[in-house]
Amino acid sequence: MNNVNSYIKEHKLRFLNELIELLKIPSISADSAYKNDVLKTADEIKISLKKAGCDHVEICKTDGYPIVYGEKIIDKNLPTVLVYGHYDVQPPDPLDLWHSPPFEPVIKETEKHPEGAIFARGACDDKGQMYMHVKALEFMTSTNQLPCNVKFMIEGEEEVGSSNLAIFVKENQDKLKNDVILISDTGMIASDVPSITTGLRGLSYVEVEVTGPNRDLHSGLYGGAVANPINILAKMIASLHDENNHITIPGFYDKVEELSKEERADMAKTPFSLENYKKALDINAVYGEAGYTTNERNSIRPTLDVNGIWGGYTGEGAKTVIASKAYAKISMRLVPHQDWEEITQLFKTHFESIAPDGVTIKVKPHHGGQGYVTPINSIGYQAASKAYKDTFGKTPIPQRSGGSIPIVSLFEQELKSKTILMGFGLDSDAIHSPNEHFGIFNYLKGIETIPLFYKYFTELSK
Amino acid sequence: MNNVNSYIKEHKLRFLNELIELLKIPSISADSAYKNDVLKTADEIKISLKKAGCDHVEICKTDGYPIVYGEKIIDKNLPTVLVYGHYDVQPPDPLDLWHSPPFEPVIKETEKHPEGAIFARGACDDKGQMYMHVKALEFMTSTNQLPCNVKFMIEGEEEVGSSNLAIFVKENQDKLKNDVILISDTGMIASDVPSITTGLRGLSYVEVEVTGPNRDLHSGLYGGAVANPINILAKMIASLHDENNHITIPGFYDKVEELSKEERADMAKTPFSLENYKKALDINAVYGEAGYTTNERNSIRPTLDVNGIWGGYTGEGAKTVIASKAYAKISMRLVPHQDWEEITQLFKTHFESIAPDGVTIKVKPHHGGQGYVTPINSIGYQAASKAYKDTFGKTPIPQRSGGSIPIVSLFEQELKSKTILMGFGLDSDAIHSPNEHFGIFNYLKGIETIPLFYKYFTELSK
């Protein structure tokens, strides 16, 4: 592609300001209080796609938040790239840990981002990474260098399970027909170590409720005589891991993909410092499944984590009460071949079976998705690899991510095409955490690299 | 005592309305947001004691909420009764489970209270039971039947540990000099089965904090690779009981008073229906320490209960986060001879010792108090027994309560006198729970019975 660098240089400030405006809208899909903000964000995406050169843009209604669809078809005989991203964001809490308000973006320099980074909820996940594709399209169309057809599908429910996107995809297979799906919603190893994500973990997310007595009780008059839902919940949660931190749910590991010695040896080559990892998190030791390294534990192995727990008196001071109910939100990260719906059922059956007399249990599945692996010999992967090589001067390293983009495996199943995960964020960008940020270098590097993917993918498709 | 019944009949409505006005003030000592209401309640108590006939009433400042002191000394040679009670109340939450606002008292009939009961936070614990003594004094003074001296000491920090009352008692031994201490802050077996509480459990209340990584983390990128503070907290809490529901803290049972076969056989005579107990709580089974009955578990055996737990995302929907911190409030009910400060230290040492690498632990002691037992052959017990016999037509049953009034053992230690616990509430009055209430029958029966205690105590003291 010609003049991509000069174009970026010329429009850099506008690229930053447009993203900052987008980040100011609190599009929190998990909290219905922000409904209007989520809808407003969809409208903004529609406008930006139109401006970037799409011939046709529409807001597609669903039973939940809408999907913004846009396309520019230049020649039916040329390949088509389908870009997927999401405009919703994670809830920002705990708010008191943010150094600046989550929806008032500020640019600050950090050790890892000497050129500065934009601090705001959604800066990296996924508004920033999604918007790189909009600006890359703008560059290609305004310089008449778009080498193939492009379709955009930007949803607003990724952080809450994409259930309506799944329906939309199934019902719009022609509209979404493509030769490759391109997503930037993952990370890279370091700003000078490009990588392409070749695997994602699946997800099963449930909420459990333990009910004991029909009302809160005085812990003096009833303490020791009735099942305390909080103690019981703690006991049940504790029993979900054994002394080696293996998950104890019967059948949980039955379909887990076991990697070969060679594959694990390749993984071990990824640059990684356990000391820096511990230092960055202020922990004196890592913790996890016996027999696996840290990088294996958070990528090729399934996990079970409590994401939230609550019950009883949590206010100031002391209240001597036995709560009637206790709750927890529990998520399991799954690896390829584990079916999320089957795992959810295994969890439910097991969790209900370990409840003692004196309490009743409710398990409410929230959402989930399958894991995913993509081969590195595909045209899509090769095109991405060449693009990174051009812009970073290094061949990117294939890596498994511990994260989940549940919809990816559904894309393959319904649209029969592979997904290429070109992530430009860093693990240290604190996505889902207070002070989420996205490096300006990474943002612009994405805008520079993406057009080259189009170029190479079109060439390799001939 | 003459005409007590006619006096109560004549003033019944006023007795109810005065209590209702007192219940409208949200004197929640655990929550500093209610500071002015707690202070206002102290003022109201002062006024009511003056009106009831105290010669001298004062509001005694402390480092916390004040203690209202009042006295009527008729003859230095006559015995002196010290009445203790508290004007602070438990927090009302969870608010959504109240059928009427906790500080807008309403009178409703219930199965156990056919004459009606006052529903409000503090109705029974302890504003209602404390106010019976104020009205009993009013009767005795206005009919010139007060047979001995009386002192009132009403505090505002009972629900948060009475730490300032303890200092006040130590520093005012002459002022508080008495021959017997009278408290109504416990319950009776049933409205037609009077009982006198002869034992109380001690209390140790702590708050624990488990810290893992220095910030909330994305559960996909870090799940399975770092210690999750919520999972760890659940595991640590679960380990505090063994498979027989014995508490596993080393040394915890060393000083526990073991009752004889005979004593346990006597206890077993107390009328009790396990079926009704389970039915009242909507539970299919009771739960507790192996080898003990329900009535033993909640009275003569020490316990450990989690009163509150929180951490991670507890809002609507799903957030795939690993929290940086998790918290729990944990209380232990103790039996005679267990020292609460020693137990608190044993807990702290043990809890810190079981923390795995990868997390740090903070244990913050909230408050506590010793258990208490009173002999049934004392003059005070005999006087109370005769009083109940007159008004209920039955000799009251001595019983151990599972609750704690930490200050009672301190009274004995500092003031060298025994405490008589004349409770008129029912276990089903939901103290510390939503919809706390106090039966009108019980309230008036207390006002009727208390003067007789003064009469018999004075006679037996001769």
Nearest CA in chain B to A367: B318
Q: Could you report the per-residue pLDDT of A193-246, keeping only the tens digit for each?
A: 999 999 889 999 999 999 999 999 988 889 999 999 999 999 999 999 999 999
Q: Could you report the per-residue pLDDT of A431-458, keeping only the tens digit for each?
A: 989 999 999 999 999 999 999 999 999 9
Answer yes or no: do B281 and A217 touch at CB < 8 A. Answer: yes
Find the mean pLDDT for residues B179-191: 94
In-domain check, residue A276:
no
In-domain check, residue B406:
yes
If asked whether residues A213 and A362 sit together in one domain, one would say: yes
User: Of A53-57, B258-262, B290-294, which gets the smallest average pLDDT?
Assistant: B258-262
Answer yes or no: do B316 and A30 touch at CB < 8 A. Answer: yes
Question: How many beta carbons lie within 10 A of that of residue B377, not counting itself?
Answer: 7
In-domain check, residue B176:
yes
* Nearest chain A Cα distance for residue B150, angstroms: 30
CATH number of the CATH domain containing A247: 3.30.70.360
Nearest CA in chain B to A294: B225
pLDDT at residue number A316: 84
Per-residue tokens: A383? 């095109």
Cα–Cα distance, B319 to B429 (Å, whole number) = 39
AA identity, residue B12: K
Cα–Cα distance, B405 to B410 (Å, whole number) = 10
Look at residue A94 and tell me whether its pLDDT is greater than 90: no
User: Of A190-194, B327-331, B369-373, which gets the smallest average pLDDT?
Assistant: B369-373
In-domain check, residue A292:
no
pLDDT at residue number A21: 98
Handedness of CA B71, B74, B76, B77 (dihedral sign): negative
pLDDT at residue number B374: 86
Residues 6+ apart with CB under 8 A from B451: B1, B4, B136, B139, B140, B145
If asked whether residues A50 and A117 sit together in one domain, one would say: yes
Percent of chain A with pLDDT over 70: 100
Q: For the purposes of burial, counting CB atoms within 10 Å of the CB of B115, is it exposed (0-12), middle (13-18) or buried (19 or more)?
A: middle
User: pLDDT band at residue B221, thresholds of 50, 70 and 90?
Assistant: confident
Per-residue tokens: A99? 């150094």
In-domain check, residue B420:
yes
Nearest CA in chain A to B293: A225
Q: Could you report the per-residue pLDDT of A275-308, keeping only the tens digit for each?
A: 999 999 999 999 999 999 999 999 899 999 999 9
In-domain check, residue B281:
no
**A440 neighbors A107 (Cβ within 8 angstroms):** yes
Nearest CA in chain B to A313: B308
Answer yes or no: do A218 and B403 touch at CB < 8 A. Answer: yes
Interaxial angle between packed helices B127-142 and B4-23, expressed in degrees from 0 to 180 and rounded to the nearest 10: 140
Residue B356 vs residues A214, A235, A280, B99, B421: alpha-carbon distances, Å: 35, 17, 19, 44, 45
pLDDT at residue number A368: 85
The three-state secondary structure class of A421 is strand
pLDDT at residue number B369: 85
pTM of the full predicted structure? 0.80
β-strands B67-72, A217-218: how paired? unpaired
**Domain range enclosing A44:** 4-200+371-461
- Domain endpoint, select from B369, B399, B423: B369
ipTM: 0.79
Question: How many beta carbons lie within 10 A of that of residue A340, not counting itself?
Answer: 22
Nearest to B320 among A213, A226, A331 (CB): A331
β-strands A56-60, B360-369: how paired? unpaired
A441 DSSP 8-state letter: H
pLDDT at residue number B318: 83
If asked whether residues B208 and B352 sit together in one domain, one would say: yes
- Domain endpoint, select from B317, B337, B369: B369
* Nearest chain A Cα distance for residue B376, angstroms: 22
Q: How many residues does chain B have?
A: 462
In-domain check, residue B432:
yes
Answer yes or no: do B366 and A313 touch at CB < 8 A. Answer: no
pLDDT at residue number B259: 85
If asked whether residues A322 and A441 sit together in one domain, one would say: no
Nearest CA in chain B to A96: B215
Please provide the average confidence, as pLDDT, over all residues in chain A. Answer: 95
Q: What are phi and psi of A107, to 5 degrees?
A: -105, 125
Nearest to B305 among A187, A231, A281 (CB): A231
What's the total number of domains in chain B?
A: 2
Q: Count of CB contacts below 8 A, A vs B?
A: 380
In-domain check, residue B285:
no
pLDDT at residue number B354: 98
If asked whether residues B184 and B239 sit together in one domain, one would say: no
If asked whether residues A310 and A455 sit together in one domain, one would say: no
Please provide the average confidence, as pLDDT, over all residues in chain B. Answer: 95
If asked whether residues B89 and B172 sit together in one domain, one would say: yes
For residue B209, list chain A residues with Cβ-Cβ distance below 8 A.
none
Cα–Cα distance, B412 to B419 (Å, whole number) = 7
Answer yes or no: do B432 and A228 touch at CB < 8 A. Answer: no
If asked whether residues B318 and B171 sit together in one domain, one would say: no
- Domain endpoint, select from A369, A386, A412: A369
Q: Could you report the per-residue pLDDT of B51-97, keeping only the tens digit for each?
A: 999 999 999 999 999 999 999 999 999 999 999 999 999 999 889 99
For residue A284, list chain B residues with Cβ-Cβ distance below 8 A.
357-358
Nearest to A310 among B203, B226, B309 (CB): B309
Residue B151: which of B53, B61, B236 has the closest Cα?
A: B53
* Nearest chain B Cα distance for residue A242, angstroms: 10
For residue B331, list chain A residues with Cβ-Cβ distance below 8 A.
219, 223, 318, 320
Nearest to B224 among A207, A289, A430 (CB): A289
Answer yes or no: do B318 and A93 touch at CB < 8 A. Answer: no
pLDDT at residue number B19: 98
Q: Could you report the per-residue pLDDT of A152-176, keeping only the tens digit for each?
A: 999 999 998 888 999 999 999 999 9
If asked whether residues B337 and B453 sit together in one domain, one would say: no
* Nearest chain B Cα distance for residue A450, angstroms: 24
Nearest to A225 among B159, B239, B294 (CB): B294
For residue A220, list chain B residues with Cβ-Cβ distance below 8 A.
201, 203, 298, 333, 401-404
Q: Up-side HSE of residue B119: CA atoms within 13 Å toward CB?
A: 17
For residue A286, list chain B residues with Cβ-Cβ distance below 8 A.
225-227, 358
pLDDT at residue number B449: 98
Answer yes or no: do A314 and B333 touch at CB < 8 A. Answer: no
CATH number of the CATH domain containing A87: 3.40.630.10
Cα–Cα distance, B298 to B288 (Å, whole number) = 9
Q: Could you report the per-residue pLDDT of B386-444, keeping only the tens digit for each?
A: 999 999 999 999 888 888 887 898 899 999 999 999 999 998 899 989 999 999 999 99
Mutation target among A29, A267, A305, A431 for the B interface, most CBs of B within 10 A: A305
Find the mean pLDDT for residues B296-319: 93
Q: For the purposes of burial, counting CB atoms within 10 Å of the CB of A77, is it exposed (0-12), middle (13-18) or buried (19 or more)?
A: exposed
If asked whether residues B186 and B206 sit together in one domain, one would say: no
Look at residue A403 and tell me whether its pLDDT is greater than 80: yes
Q: Could you report the per-residue pLDDT of A125-150, keeping only the tens digit for each?
A: 999 999 999 999 999 999 999 999 99
User: pLDDT band at residue B41, thresholds of 50, 70 and 90?
Assistant: very high
If asked whether residues B347 and B398 sit together in one domain, one would say: no
Look at residue B112 and tell me whether its pLDDT is greater than 80: yes
Nearest to A214 among B203, B281, B402 (CB): B281
User: Of B7-16, B258-267, B287-296, which gets the smallest average pLDDT?
Assistant: B258-267
If asked whether residues A184 and A54 sit together in one domain, one would say: yes
Answer yes or no: do A201 and B220 touch at CB < 8 A. Answer: yes
Look at residue B350 and tell me whether its pLDDT is greater than 80: yes
Find the mean pLDDT for residues B112-121: 97
User: pLDDT band at residue A267, thresholds of 50, 70 and 90?
Assistant: confident
Answer yes or no: do B225 and A306 touch at CB < 8 A. Answer: no
